[in-house]
Structure formats: structure tokens, C-alpha cells
Chain A
Amino acid sequence: DARVTQTPRHKVTEMGQEVTMRCQPILGHNTVFWYRQTMMQGLELLAYFRNRAPLDDSGMPKDRFSAEMPDATLATLKIQPSEPRDSAVYFCASGLVITGRIGEQFFGPGTRLTVL
């Protein structure tokens, strides 16, 4: 049963602390996405990797956020230092780009982050 996994599922931390979220994409997928969802902003794209290379991180606050794919089975999103306004649900998704067209994309269960 192929699915995207994310850890942790819930995280409560204090302002100023580092937060690391991890994602294991579906085996064989060549694209990975990080999204943030809040009631006010909806679903926002933070970062997009294809074949482990970052293609678009324009939605990510560069001063505190960083995203990497150290290998094909792991994507990470780090926030340092965290702030209360970072409280949101963070989703990872993976999919395929084939023949120059983006295809179906599957979401993980999300990490619910609360920064106090």
C-alpha cells in the first residue's frame, strides 16, 4: 500500500526552537512538494523538488525555513527559529512528472505544528 508518510504527526514547541519535519515520498515518484495550510491562507506551496533538485521555493520564508532532499526516500522541512505565526498543518505530497506534464499528486497525513 504505497502512501506518503510524514513525521511527526503533531508537534508543540516554544517560540525560537528548531522544528524538523520529515517526509517519505511514494517509491518511484520524482516530485516532492511541501505545503502549509491555515484557515486564513488555505493551501500554500512552500517548496517543490524534482529528482531531488529544488525547483521552486519562492513561497518559503528564506530567513527561517529550509527544505532539502538528502536522498530519494527522505525530504525534510526545517524551521529555525520557529514563531507562533508558523502554527499550521504542513503537508508533504509526492507525484510524477512524465512527458513534460505534471501528473497526479498524493498527500501525506500532515504535521500539525503549534508554536507557543
Chain B
Amino acid sequence: QKEVEQNSGPLSVPEGAIASLNCTYSDRVSQSFFWYRQYSGKSPELIMSIYSNGDKEDGRFTAQLNKASQYVSLLIRDSQPSDSATYLCAVGTGRRALTFGSGTRLQVQP
């Protein structure tokens, strides 16, 4: 079992819809959770961090964390074609380096 699992996609949504990206992790004591966006040929860009159970909103993005279910998700409201990218989930445990998932490719259809 991979430590951080994501559906590779592609996840295709129409413009204006809500895109829902999911991530599960295996280490129960993980404390730090991040979502990165990576455009083709570019470096990963941090878009959300979450440390406590519940929802965290930032503009069109909402991160949701459920530690009991070992599940973290990212919702993108009013999806735009410019949101088309690969989204990487990263999980931190203590002071250890982050563990990254393999990413979900999102395609927003105009």
C-alpha cells in the first residue's frame, strides 16, 4: 500500500463546476497536509495547507481533512480552464520529509 494515494485521473469537469480531488494516507500520526498544483513543465506550487480536522477555505479552494478516516480532499469551486493541472497531495509526519502522492490530473473543459 502506498503511503499517500491519489487517483491519477484525468478528472474531467466542465467550466464552472466543482472539482473534487481526493487523497488518502496510511500513517495515522500524520499532522501536516498540503495540496500543490503543478502545471506541465513547471514546479509544484503550494495552494493549501491544513493541519486540523474540518474545512479550510481560501478563495475558490476548500481543503477538507478527516484524520479519523485518514482522508484529505481539495474542492475547487467555479472551475476554470486555468485550473487544469496536476494536483499533488503531500502529507507530513513529525519532522520527517513530506510524502507526496503521485498526483491527480485535472482537466477543466471550456
Interface residue ranges of B91-109 to A (CB < 8 Å): 92-98, 100, 102-103
Q: Are the C-beta atoms of B44 and A43 separated by less than 8 Å?
A: yes
Knowing A56-B97, A101-B94 are in contact, say whether A106-B88 is a contact too (CB < 8 A): no
Q: Are the C-beta atoms of B100 and A50 separated by less than 8 Å?
A: no
Q: Are the C-beta atoms of A97 and B95 separated by less than 8 Å?
A: yes
Contacts of A55 in B (CB 8 A): 95, 97
Q: Is B7 an interface residue (CB 8 A)?
A: no
Q: Are the C-beta atoms of A50 and B95 separated by less than 8 Å?
A: yes
Q: Are the C-beta atoms of A107 and B34 separated by less than 8 Å?
A: no
Contacts of B36 in A (CB 8 A): 107
Q: Is B57 an interface residue (CB 8 A)?
A: no
CB-contact partner of B46 in A43, A48, A106, under 8 A: A106
Q: Is A42 an interface residue (CB 8 A)?
A: yes
Interface residue ranges of A101-116 to B (CB < 8 Å): 101-110
Q: How many residues of A contact B (CB 8 A)?
A: 21
Contacts of B97 in A (CB 8 A): 33, 45, 48, 55-56, 102
Contacts of A103 in B (CB 8 A): 32, 49, 92
Closest to B91 in A: A102
Interface residue ranges of A24-72 to B (CB < 8 Å): 33, 42-43, 45, 48, 50, 55-56
Contacts of B100 in A (CB 8 A): 42-43
Q: Could you tell me the distance in whole angstroms from the C-beta of A32 to the nearest C-beta in chain B?
A: 10
Interface residue ranges of A60-110 to B (CB < 8 Å): 91, 97, 100-110
Contacts of B46 in A (CB 8 A): 104-107
Pairs A-B, 6 closest by C-beta atoms: A102-B92, A107-B43, A48-B97, A42-B102, A43-B100, A107-B44
